[in-house]
Structure 1
């Protein structure tokens, strides 16, 4: 069983034109933590995951998943 937590942090940051440093400052974490999260090298605590979702004003399930997110543009026909 994989322990990987998949996320859409990079996509959400890109859509909103927010740098890793800006997000990190808003969350009170080191900017490298955001990079580790985006690359799947670090799984967030529940508290941090909820704070990230709250920051982007989306449900936590829209940011994090235990299964890979479908690629953008790949829709079932």
Structure 2
């Protein structure tokens, strides 16, 4: 029984690391695009779409992080 709990725990920790990496990636990319838009002072539709996309992905991954953390708490 402990064997499976340990396997599940390791898997969840690995997934959490992946999720945190993706959140960090989308957050930094969004911030970089926002900085570029501020510097250029032009309203670039493509950049706006990319910023919106990265914001949405951040929200999705934060939701996934929350769900996984809840699962990890339940499995303790």
Same fold (TM over 0.5): no
Structure having the higher helix fraction is 2
TM (norm. structure 2) is: 0.28
TM-score normalised by the chain length of structure 1: 0.28
The answer to which structure, 1 or 2, has the higher relative contact order (CA under 8 A, 6+ apart) is: 2
* The structure with more strand, counted as a fraction of residues: 1
